[in-house]
Amino acid sequence: MQLHFGLTGRNYLITGANSGIGRAIAIALGVQGANVAVHYLPATAGAPSAAHPILGVDAALEVVETVRRFGANAATLAADLSSESDVAAPVSEAEQAVEPLDGLVNNAAACELPDSLSA
């Protein structure tokens, strides 16, 4: 039995939505019929795209395709939210992509990721 929470047609921006908890939230909203703007950290000089699988557009596009399979609209948004100049752009871009926002899930975080777990 699937529960319905009345989210059909609502619009959300989820930061850090290409992996982990953000990914799960974006997909869960899509399952409920909500439109989702999937934010991700773009590859930069400080964060090369091949360094870790959570970075880059490929993971974000996979989330978008998953959301769309449930009939909801979804779009990707690249921004480095640790940069003050990039903070405002995702909101206006999300509103262009999925219409005026009904909510924001501020899930993005910055951390050092090890290349391996071995010492």
* pLDDT tens digit sequence for 16-60: 999 999 999 999 999 999 999 999 988 764 555 545 555 679 999
Q: Is the separation of the CB atoms in 11 and 97 below 8 Å?
A: no
| CATH 3.30.230.10 at 11-105, yes or no | no
Spatial neighbors of 105 by CB under 8 A, at least 6 apart, are 12, 13, 14, 15, 17, 22, 25
Between strands 103-105 and 74-78, the pairing is unpaired
- Tokens 């399952």 found at: 31
pTM (2 decimals)?
0.83
Distance between CA atoms of 24 and 21, rounded to whole angstroms? Answer: 5
Q: What is the pLDDT of residues 107-116, one digit of tens each?
A: 988 766 667 7
